Chain A
């Protein structure tokens, strides 16, 4: 066998390993029901959940808990997933400053002891859409 063939085989093997590991490490978008099932099965894999914040009639967010004076690294809130399942989410970091304005939230993490522990929070704010901005500005003029 020629040396180049051996190297070719090694490269292909490495590429296959890369693909397998990508597939293995890839996370998934799930709802809270599935996240709970995963946790009950003893899995510690981290998942993505897309949800909306629970708001009252006045548009205030319900169930938000952040008191930096007590613990600046503890932020808890309620998230409603696409199946309308409500779940308490805990984030061991300061509250993102534009949290109140966001509509849709994507969280990454897993269920632990009946709460969802989030490592990452990604906010989608309605104000980021161009059209709304324009109306706000023009209304102000």
Chain B
């Protein structure tokens, strides 16, 4: 049965949301006019609020409708069919929601609604700001809701609706010609790479960050529009902090997801999709710094305008990059092209032109102070810091936009064949590393000058202690790493040493700030804490990426070709099942294929699971025990929540200490995407050991078995199978066969064989079943030994038994493993940075809410006096 109602409700809500956004932005526009008729303004404002609430309600209805479609498996809708499936757990249904473009737009719209409602209801004196700021909000909502509108006017497609029915999406599919009411039984499922808990929280965090950048932008535009050039900074500042921390945490969450799920061997790949968020984040952080400088000394107002506006336009630009299909060959994970590139470009251009034109128009009126800053002014260093951040952003932007240049040149008729740099990591690193060095130095100097009196002697006073500690600590680490092999790496690269020393300086300098603020007013130290976080992140990146070490080099000595013996890194190693291979300081062995079983805390060997026709269930062929606790008995039916994932058990044993641990890198062969391998990571205090399979024998390809070799045996006979000694212990009649119903008259006989493997003894139990007068063979496959044993016949007179044996190549995996020193410092740094930001938000928010009687300048002076 096709349920068109829910889709109609959804689609209608989209239209209502769109219209309400138009009404609300018009009404708020009317409410922001400069007229003396206060009553009319209040009326307009009330009306606009009402319209925005209607918009909010409509958006929530859209979300409800779309989630209902996914949750109820309504596969008559394209969105559910293409992003979900019957077996998807509920928490991943949330990820389906934003796997598609439409859903992710919806998420963005939703956050704008939430922030809009918060803005309407908080702050005592936001009456003067509400109308112009919310006019901007509604105006943005108008564009965003149009992206999911899904209507066609004069052959122009406006938006793509998430509520499109299958039969409307593919009217040419033969199945709909036969039966228009056809509903698929199952969906095509969620991209397996997105079936990860980080993908449940990473996109909402990122989009909240996206949405939050609208707040400072809207305030800046309102400030320009209403001629309140300096006043907007105060209410916008806590929001800028909020946007920066959310976006920053969102980026790192994405990085952590990539680290844990993808297999390019790291957390950052300089993919355009990653860069697209990194660029606005850098500019936004720059904007925060100029805004802070303005709050203290009325300088940098124009820069604040430029940077806040640029941040928002860059957010739109990143949306355009990742969703228009313009990246084409350049990115592995951009969204598919929905034919909305024109609309996205209009959106981008409209805001860019509007904002830039308004800024130019009002430029002359923006007040500037002519006071020259000295090098002992904190503001001076803050501005330099903002400039470095913007240059770093510009560098990433210039390269990431290469596909855009191609399209643009192609558009005006010039053929361009420029491609992204072949070695992107090298290209970006050579700038970003130095940007990191400068940022580290500037956070130290900037903070020290910011909190001190502006003269030379007090600066030297402040810098002596952190500088000495830095040199002491740095030389200690450098000597320990080079002379005494304390770490897994030698810190001898001068460039890396520079970054190391400067980051250490940033940590110590900011620590000294915190210490001096500690017995005065700790709440002011948010900046210092955030800066320590950044410095720790730089250290973590330096060690984990700079000294990432592949330990799975080819040790077998076998090379296919010796054409390029020296230059090529052979980073992958082949592991035969149950054969130990030496790798770095470990003995490594691959032990077999495992599956996840519901209710069992560890993975279960495939060999003791008898697979049934239902992919998601299996029958236990032996007791399933973990640490002596019995979870399932032989013959029990067990549930397999993720049958598509195979976990390859790999044992690592340290050759010196004999410490052993087991990793389960996983892989699945996806019909659409090929081999999807995800690593398993062993965390040590000083490093991560990162392991993934690079290739496995294709599980869909039939195994090539040797020709059947027959043996006639009696009880107690010993034979040699595939070089293994095997003993035929006898046969027994069994009553129950898992998965095969037996009737009266059917006979099932099971042979019992013992095979001595290299490591352990295996038991083979091939079955012979006489059912309805036919013989059925249920051979035993021992993957470890590459053996298939079939019980062929019984000769009751001679008490002889006939078995057949096929052999095959043993199972193997190709593995890549690497060590990432101190990657933990990166994650810890992120947390520290977030804490610093939250402290700053709390402080700035209080400040934003204070009434005008406490002059900000006075507060600042008091602060400065306190710490000086």
Contacts A2-B372, A95-B695, A112-B564: A72 and B387 contacting too (C-beta < 8 A)?
no
Scan A124-138; emit 1 where CB is below 8 A from any B CB, else 0.
110110110111011
Q: How close is B692's CB to chain A, nearest CB, in angstroms?
A: 11
**Is there an interface contact between A46 and B423, defined as CB atoms closer than 8 Å?**
yes
A98 to B672, CA, bound (A): 8
A97 at the interface (CB under 8 A from B): yes
**Is there an interface contact between B812 and A68, defined as CB atoms closer than 8 Å?**
yes
A57 to B367, CA, bound (A): 74
A68 to B387, CA, bound (A): 51
* A28, A122, A131: the one within 8 Å of B170 (CB): A131
Q: How close is B481's CB to chain A, nearest CB, in angstroms?
A: 30
B246 at the interface (CB under 8 A from A): no
B745 at the interface (CB under 8 A from A): no
Q: How close is B274's CB to chain A, nearest CB, in angstroms?
A: 17
A90 at the interface (CB under 8 A from B): yes
A21 to B423, CA, bound (A): 13
**Is there an interface contact between A127 and B173, defined as CB atoms closer than 8 Å?**
no
Residues of A within 8 A of B698 (CB): 97
* B571, B572, B674: the one within 8 Å of A101 (CB): B674
8 A Cβ contacts from B665-700 to A = 669, 671-675, 694-695, 698
Contacts A28-B417, A29-B417, A135-B173: A72 and B574 contacting too (C-beta < 8 A)?
yes
B197 at the interface (CB under 8 A from A): no
A94 to B677, CA, bound (A): 13
Among A19, A72, A74, A123, the one with the most B-chain Cβ atoms within 10 Å of its Cβ is A72
A27 at the interface (CB under 8 A from B): yes
A18 to B410, CA, bound (A): 24
Contacts A68-B814, A72-B554, A138-B184: A97 and B419 contacting too (C-beta < 8 A)?
no
A15 to B417, CA, bound (A): 23
A67 at the interface (CB under 8 A from B): yes
* Nearest A residue to B676, CB-CB: A97
B569 at the interface (CB under 8 A from A): yes
Contacts A93-B571, A98-B675, A106-B329: A25 and B427 contacting too (C-beta < 8 A)?
yes
A62 at the interface (CB under 8 A from B): no
A100 to B47, CA, bound (A): 61
A65 to B174, CA, bound (A): 40
**Is there an interface contact between A138 and B175, defined as CB atoms closer than 8 Å?**
yes
B72 at the interface (CB under 8 A from A): no
A5 to B99, CA, bound (A): 48
Q: How close is A125's CB to chain B, nearest CB, in angstroms?
A: 7
Interface size class, chain A: 35 or more
B561 at the interface (CB under 8 A from A): yes
Residues of A within 8 A of B574 (CB): 68-69, 72
A96 at the interface (CB under 8 A from B): yes
**Is there an interface contact between A141 and B418, defined as CB atoms closer than 8 Å?**
no
A111 at the interface (CB under 8 A from B): no
A37 at the interface (CB under 8 A from B): no
Contacts A130-B82, A137-B188: A74 and B559 contacting too (C-beta < 8 A)?
yes
Q: How close is B39's CB to chain A, nearest CB, in angstroms?
A: 48
8 A Cβ contacts from B180-211 to A = 184-185, 188
* B173, B422, B431, B695: the one within 8 Å of A68 (CB): B695
**Is there an interface contact between B422 and A119, defined as CB atoms closer than 8 Å?**
yes
A11 at the interface (CB under 8 A from B): yes
A106 to B375, CA, bound (A): 51
**Is there an interface contact between B694 and A19, defined as CB atoms closer than 8 Å?**
no
Residues of B within 8 A of A27 (CB): 418-422
* A26, A117, A135: the one within 8 Å of B420 (CB): A26
* B174, B375, B558: the one within 8 Å of A71 (CB): B558
A58 at the interface (CB under 8 A from B): no
B560 at the interface (CB under 8 A from A): yes
Residues of B within 8 A of A83 (CB): none
Among A18, A22, A90, the one with the most B-chain Cβ atoms within 10 Å of its Cβ is A22
Residues of A within 8 A of B185 (CB): 141
A22 to B394, CA, bound (A): 11
Contacts A14-B391, A97-B695, A98-B674: A130 and B417 contacting too (C-beta < 8 A)?
no
**Is there an interface contact between A138 and B174, defined as CB atoms closer than 8 Å?**
yes
* A69, A71, A117, A135: the one within 8 Å of B564 (CB): A117
Residues of A within 8 A of B431 (CB): 18, 21
* Nearest B residue to A10, CB-CB: B387
Q: How close is B586's CB to chain A, nearest CB, in angstroms?
A: 18
B253 at the interface (CB under 8 A from A): no
Residues of A within 8 A of B104 (CB): none
8 A Cβ contacts from A57-98 to B = 65, 67-74, 90, 92-98
Q: Which of B344-352, B395-403, B648-656 contacts A (4 or more CB under 8 A)?
A: B395-403
Residues of B within 8 A of A22 (CB): 395, 398-399, 402
A106 to B420, CA, bound (A): 12
* B384, B394, B814: the one within 8 Å of A15 (CB): B394
Residues of A within 8 A of B568 (CB): 73, 92, 117
B570 at the interface (CB under 8 A from A): yes
A47 at the interface (CB under 8 A from B): yes
A67 to B563, CA, bound (A): 17
**Is there an interface contact between A93 and B184, defined as CB atoms closer than 8 Å?**
no
Residues of B within 8 A of A29 (CB): 417-419
**Is there an interface contact between A128 and B672, defined as CB atoms closer than 8 Å?**
yes
Q: How close is B379's CB to chain A, nearest CB, in angstroms?
A: 12
Scan B540-583; emit 1 where CB is below 8 A from any A CB, else 0.
00000000000000100011110110001111111000000000
Scan B416-451; emit 1 where CB is below 8 A from any A CB, else 0.
011111110001001100000000000000000000
B373 at the interface (CB under 8 A from A): yes
Among B372, B380, B675, the one with the most A-chain Cβ atoms within 10 Å of its Cβ is B675
* Nearest B residue to A115, CB-CB: B563
A141 to B671, CA, bound (A): 17
* B170, B421, B814: the one within 8 Å of A134 (CB): B170
B336 at the interface (CB under 8 A from A): yes
Using A21-B431, A127-B672 as known contacts, list a sample of 11 further A-B pairs with CB atoms less than 8 Å apart, ordered by residue number in A: A4-B372, A7-B387, A11-B391, A48-B419, A48-B422, A69-B809, A70-B558, A92-B570, A96-B675, A125-B674, A137-B188
18 residue pairs A–B, Cβ–Cβ below 8 Å: A3-B380, A25-B399, A26-B418, A26-B419, A29-B417, A68-B574, A69-B812, A72-B814, A73-B560, A73-B572, A92-B568, A97-B669, A97-B698, A108-B419, A122-B332, A124-B329, A130-B336, A137-B184
Q: Which 5 A-B pairs have the closest CB atoms?
A: A98-B674, A97-B675, A46-B422, A71-B560, A74-B560
Residues of A within 8 A of B (CB): 2-4, 7, 11, 14-15, 18-19, 21-22, 25-30, 45-48, 50, 65, 67-74, 90, 92-99, 101, 106, 108-109, 112-113, 115, 117, 119-120, 122-125, 127-128, 130-131, 133-135, 137-138, 141
Residues of B within 8 A of A (CB): 82, 170, 173-175, 184-185, 188, 329, 332, 336, 372-373, 375, 380, 383-384, 387, 391, 394-395, 398-399, 402, 417-423, 427, 430-431, 554, 558-561, 563-564, 568-574, 669, 671-675, 694-695, 698, 809, 812, 814
